[in-house]
Amino acid sequence: MGKNWWKESVVYQIYPRSFQDSNHDGIGDLAGILTRLDYLKKLGIDVVWLCPVYDSPNVDNGYDIRDYKEILDTFGTMEDFDRLLEGLHSRGMKLLMDLVVNHTSDQHEWFQQALQSRDNPYHDYYIWQDGTTDKLPNNWESHFSGSAWEYVPHLGQYYLHIFAKQQPDLNWKNPKVREAVKDICRFWLGKGVDGFRMDTMNFYSKVDGFPSVEGVEGLVRAHRFYQNGPHIHEYLKELHRDVLSLYNGMTVGETPNVTPEIAKLYTGDGRDEVNMLFQFEHMSVDSGPKDKWDLIPWDFVKFKKIMSKWQTSLHGCGWNSLYLSNHDQPRPLGRFADDSVYRVESAKLLGTMTHTMEGTPYIYQGEELGMVNVRFSDISNYRDVQTLNLYADLSAKGVSHREIMRKVYTKGRDNARTPMQWSGERYGGFSDTEPWIELNPSYLEINAAQQEEDPNSVLHYYRKLIRLRRQYPVMVYGDFVDCLPEDPARYAYRRTLEGEKLFVLLNFKDRPADFYQPEDMDPSRWQLLLSNYPADSDPCGPLRPCEARVFYQKEASL
């Protein structure tokens, strides 16, 4: 497999609503992002992935698009967008747009037309089933609670919505839908954007006949009937052939429920589909079979096995995305390490892992500061449609406030959506007025201004990580060996590329652990590249709580 710019890049994800407000309305906007480009440049990232900024009624914060070729007025204008793109390009950074084409908003012109009558030319842009109010087409549950079908009385039909009822699924079987998607892609690529993050990409093709899941009571997530469906590869190849292949862009598909075998079908060399996926196996270690709210303790050894399996399975035949957080996930520190006593060490530990594996690392805004989850006591402080629907659904079923909030505190999406913590000033430097969602009170202690001053901060450490990736090709392209797969506390792995060796030793526990030395490496010849503790002790001494060390060794040239 060849070298590519997108393999060597580090991506930074921006959730525009919460990044930087510039016009005093408490909502982040494009002009606000523009004022922070130097911050991003200094961080060292190569690519920005911008969550949706298109015109939208914002039932799902922009993932419900009303017009794919307009900018949401709250975020600014197309001129602001052009300035942002130019600002990124002139600083040597690229821009990925979020392509949300599994569904549109119910306010999109196509859906409004589709609602008019069964023979409207746009009716077939969506997915319909005949029926009556008293009988749902099947037992599929929406990801945002309740049935995945909504009845339209004057048509005598249900439409499918895997997400909110204001997000009707598009009918990809209709060639006109596929042409419309290509047209959207051409529009943005024509403007000079550098690629797409493809929202719920493996949902485009649904199984024929919309069968119910057998043997269950009530509604269930019917993943196998609409993820990795029968025509998905055809559709992606067509999009690649007709549009994506004509640009040197980058594509990353969001794909829950994929194995490495399935991932190779999407990303393999010569498959001509997309460059890489966001797989979710490691994000599922702390949930039971029902859904993400089904909380279970996670198992560190299992987690490592998943990470390592993806490393070795795709080496030489696919490409990984490396991430632990995004706008849909809780903050990772409390989840995978420690967000209290060892918060700083944990943030550096997890960052070390995502930047020293094979794949493209993704940093979600605030991760580079070690931001943590939020706990609002009242549900009225929450904004996320998924969280609010869950609360209504479970309350109606008699589940206690306390029990629901435990789920929300652990997995709710607003954990990641509180405003960016730029400084300790009022409203955290995000805005000068009350923001659309409250700040996490931790901004007084955790913020970019304070970390800029502190050379031992998470922010400075992330800059170092990104710099090292650029300097050492073994960090990008080296192969991967898990040295201690069964170890209950340490993750130890080795990477090799043409005589260069990297050894990464991570103590995931909040207590000391023994050092470990791989047999084929020589402490007298290796160099400690990086550690998340001050370098005042023996590099081969015992590991301190949540300690990370990265060693590098180059074979003498023959």
Size of the site for ligand GLC (CB under 6 A): 9
Residue 25's binding partner out of ligand GLC, Ca ion, none, with CB under 5 to 8 Å set by partner kind: Ca ion
What is the Cα–Cα distance from 271 to 265, expressed in whole angstroms?
7
Report, in Å, the least distance between residue 100 CB and ligand GLC.
6
Report, in Å, the least distance between residue 203 CB and ligand GLC.
9
CA dihedral angle for residue 494, residue 497, residue 501, residue 505, rounded to 10 degrees: -30
- Residue 297: how many other CB atoms lie within 10 Å: 6
* Shorter beta-carbon distance to Ca ion: residue 56 or 360: 56
Catalytic residue flag (residue 445): no
Binding positions for ligand GLC, 52-81, rule CB under 6 A: 60, 63
Catalytic residue flag (residue 25): no
* Shorter beta-carbon distance to Ca ion: residue 32 or 518: 32
First to last CA, the chain: 26
Binding positions for ligand GLC, 295-334, rule CB under 6 A: 327-328
- Edge-first strand order for the sheet with 360-364 is 276-278, 250-254, 195-198, 94-99, 47-50, 11-14, 360-364, 321-322
Return the biggest CA–CA distance within the chain: 79
β-pairing verdict for 479-482 and 490-497:
antiparallel
- Indicate which residue of 46, 254, 414, 547 is catalytic: 254
Residue 23's binding partner out of ligand GLC, Ca ion, none, with CB under 5 to 8 Å set by partner kind: Ca ion
β-pairing verdict for 321-322 and 94-99:
unpaired
Report, in Å, the least distance between residue 497 CB and ligand GLC.
33
- When binding is defined by CB under 6 A, the residue of 199, 273, 286, 358 that contacts ligand GLC is 199
Residue 150's binding partner out of ligand GLC, Ca ion, none, with CB under 5 to 8 Å set by partner kind: none
* Shorter beta-carbon distance to ligand GLC: residue 41 or 223: 223
CB 323 within 8 A of CB 354: yes
- Indicate which residue of 29, 64, 169, 199 is catalytic: 199
Q: Which DSSP state fits 439?
A: P
CB 371 within 8 A of CB 332: no
What is the Cα–Cα distance from 556 to 558, expressed in whole angstroms?
6
Report, in Å, the least distance between residue 59 CB and ligand GLC.
10
Q: How far from chain centre, in Å, is Cα 169?
A: 21
* Shorter beta-carbon distance to ligand GLC: residue 157 or 200: 200
Binding positions for ligand GLC, 86-125, rule CB under 6 A: 100
Evaluate the CA torsion angle 439, 440, 445, 447 in order and state its sign.
Answer: negative
Closest residue to bound ligand GLC by CB: 63
Residue 117's binding partner out of Ca ion, ligand GLC, none, with CB under 5 to 8 Å set by partner kind: none
Active-site residue list: 199, 254
Residues that bind ligand GLC (CB under 6 A): 60, 63, 100, 163, 199-200, 254, 327-328
